[in-house]
Amino acid sequence: MRKTLNALLLVTVAFAWGCDKKDTAPAEGEEAAPAAAALSEDEKTIYALGAMLGQRAVQPLRLSEAELEILQKGLAATAGGGEPEYSIEEYGPKFEAFMKARAAAGAAEEKERSQAFLSGAEGEEGAVKTESGLVYRTLEPGQGASPAATDVVKVHYHGTLTDGTVFDSSRDRGQPVEFPLNQVIPCWTEGVQKMKVGEKAKLVCPSDIAYGDEGRPGIPPGATLVFEVELIGIQGK
């Protein structure tokens, strides 16, 4: 319970920062306000903290604009030492159930939106759909060995959401990665075993074999993920 309260406190701080930055363009005939002074390094750090918490903690709750305003009111009520209108002791125990319900609703909507994309991926030339739901397609064939689940592999990859948003990419970082193949998401464990060294392949991963209904920072609950993977090598082979 204490961890939940601390997390929500940080969330409200992050949101309050964002609310103070709303557009305040002058109406016709009014003089424009002086440009805001450049932020100090500490202020930029605080801003980045707010952005991170907004992405990781607030976004999955899928709050409406009105609900975001209520969140800010709750912060304002107690930040200066005042008493909240609604008891934390009474409503605090409901935090976890509320967050789980919002995440589940978001995951269900995300899965429904992904169906058309998955159907399209299955229909691409050369694509194969496995029993797990993985859609696998070779982009460039390889000539080397294929890994086992217990092998350590070296790969380059580029990961996107179904709308093309990049959430992770070793390509963009310019640095391939190595990892045990049985210690990643099931989609990768299954899909990379189908590859040969030197091969490039496209893996379309439904949420059930990716990050499920929980999601990850930058990955919504229930999201279908798309990876372009190059198998560079297998340790010891």
DSSP label at 55? Answer: I
pLDDT at 17: 41
140 pLDDT above the threshold of 80: yes
pLDDT at 12: 45
User: pLDDT band for position 102 (50/70/90)?
Assistant: confident
Q: Between 14 and 123, whose confidence is greater?
A: 123
Q: Tell me phi and psi for residue 147, to 5 degrees.
A: -80, 155
CB 138 within 8 A of CB 203: no
Rounded to whole angstroms, the Cα distance separating 46 from 76 reads 18
**Average pLDDT rounded to a whole number, residues 109-115:** 92
Rounded to whole angstroms, the Cα distance separating 204 from 206 reads 7
30 pLDDT above the threshold of 90: no
Q: Can you spell out the DSSP letters for 65-94?
A: HHHHHHHHHHHHHHHTS---SS-HHHHGGG
CA distances from 188 to 86, 115, 183 (A): 46, 20, 9
Beta strands (DSSP E) in the chain are: 128-129, 135-140, 152-161, 166-169, 177-180, 200-205, 225-234
**Average pLDDT rounded to a whole number, residues 75-94:** 87
Of the chain, the end-to-end C-alpha distance in Å amounts to 49
7 pLDDT above the threshold of 80: no
Domains of the chain: 130-234 (3.10.50.40)
Tell me the residue type at 44: K
Scored b (16 or more CB within 10 A) or e, 7-45 reads: ebebbbebbebbeeeeeeeeeeeeeeeeeeeeeeeeeee
224 pLDDT above the threshold of 80: yes
Least confident of 10-14, 35-39, 109-113: 10-14
**Average pLDDT rounded to a whole number, residues 90-118:** 89
Question: Of 98, 104, 106, whose CA–CA distance to 4 is shortest?
Answer: 98
pLDDT at 19: 42
pLDDT at 141: 97
Rounded to whole angstroms, the Cα distance separating 111 from 224 reads 7
Q: Between 136 and 70, whose confidence is greater?
A: 136
Catalytic residues: 157, 167-168, 185, 211, 227
What pLDDT digit, counting tens, does each position of 39-61 carry? Answer: 899 999 988 887 887 777 777 77
Q: Between 205 and 15, whose confidence is greater?
A: 205
- Partners of 202 in beta bridges: 137, 228
CA distances from 79 to 9, 13, 67, 209 (A): 10, 9, 18, 42
pLDDT at 165: 94
CB 107 within 8 A of CB 213: yes
For residues 235, 132, 120, 106, the Cα torsion angle rounded to the nearest 10 degrees is: -100
% of the chain beyond a pLDDT of 70: 84
Q: Return the sign of the alpha-carbon dihedral for residues 5, 6, 7, 12.
A: positive
pLDDT at 158: 98
**Average pLDDT rounded to a whole number, residues 118-130:** 96
User: pLDDT band for position 235 (50/70/90)?
Assistant: very high
pLDDT at 45: 92
**Average pLDDT rounded to a whole number, residues 3-10:** 46
Rounded to whole angstroms, the Cα distance separating 211 from 92 reads 28
